[in-house]
Amino acid sequence: MEEITTGTLLGGRLSYRQFATGHRTGFEPVLLAAAVPAKPGECVLEAGTGAGAALLCLAARVPGITGTGIEIDPALAALANENFQINNLPNLSAIAADITTWRTAQKFDHACANPPWFDAASTPSPDQARRRAHQAPPGLLEAWVVALAAALKPRGSLTLILPAPAFPDSSSALLGAGIGGLTLIPLWPRAGAPAGNIILRGIAGSKAPARIAPGLILHDGPRIADAAEDILRHGAALDDERRIK
């Protein structure tokens, strides 16, 4: 049986268990959750939910949402469900399935994902779980986007967090799947540094022009920047309508 470590999310608001080996949760799912424009009572679909960090953080910020996570690893899906139960969030659930072949008649208000991002030509991790979480064979990103877009209601939102070099492929995939009105949110490691990651969000059926939001600076010297602290420790929404310093 795999070793499990116990920690917290959002400055201790949430209990969070994850496997000691394989992919370990970082900033990405917390920032992803902060960027999903969900409202109480709405339904959210996440692909590659892992141990459930993003849905946990989203449910902590937006009480009353219903969240469904799709996770290809049955052990991770089971652990996500345990995390949902431990935190008394019965409206969240994880399903062990491949998002590219999973089908449902349900339509969701929002969808989100932190997809595998490493190019197939990059050196794969020797750890199978990390390799599956990170390595993207040709066409995988597009397949994820198509599956998520198909599950959305009209005018539903689709939000991705990705490394900055994935911007061309991810924006093309979103537009090809009928997701328009794209908003690019740069995530800078510190002021003056190139963005290492991005959040890309669009709306099903939108014809609005694309826009670049002011973005978020993550660190101020050795410490987490105040606006990032509000998100990572206190569960604030990522307000992309103003510059976040």
Q: What is the DSSP string of 35-91?
A: H----TT-EEEEES-TTSHHHHHHHHHSTT-EEEEEES-HHHHHHHHHHHHHTT-TT
Residue 245, pLDDT above cutoff 50:
no
Domain membership of residue 242 (yes or no) is no
Sign of the four-CA dihedral 58, 174, 69, 189: negative
> What does the alpha-carbon distance between residue 58 and residue 32 come to, in Å, rounded to a whole number?
9
Q: Is the pTM of this model over 0.85?
A: yes
- CATH assignment of the domain containing 162: 3.40.50.150
Domain membership of residue 241 (yes or no) is no
What confidence tens digit (pLDDT) does each residue in 100-154 have? Answer: 999 999 999 999 999 986 555 544 445 454 444 445 577 999 999 999 999 999 9
Tokens linked to 127: 């750890």
> What does the alpha-carbon distance between residue 6 and residue 79 come to, in Å, rounded to a whole number?
12
pLDDT of residue 133: 45
Sign of the four-CA dihedral 194, 25, 148, 65: negative
Domain membership of residue 66 (yes or no) is yes
Count up the domains in the chain and report the number. Answer: 1
How much of the chain exceeds pLDDT 70, in percent? 89
Domain membership of residue 1 (yes or no) is no
Q: Please answer whether residues 175 and 217 qualify as being in contact, where contact means their C-beta atoms are separated by less than 8 angstroms.
A: no
Domain membership of residue 170 (yes or no) is yes
Q: Which of the four pLDDT bands, split at 50, 70 and 90, describes residue 23?
A: confident
Domain membership of residue 245 (yes or no) is no
Residue 123's domain comprises 7-19+27-232
Q: Identify any residues that bridge with 220 across adjacent strands, giving them in sequence order.
A: 223
Domain membership of residue 35 (yes or no) is yes
- CA distances (Å), 209 to each of 1, 161, 165, in order? 50, 20, 21
Tokens linked to 35: 């960027």
Within 10 Å of residue 209's Cβ, how many Cβ atoms?
8
**H helix or E strand, kind and range, residue 218:** strand 216-220
Domain membership of residue 243 (yes or no) is no
pLDDT of residue 242: 47
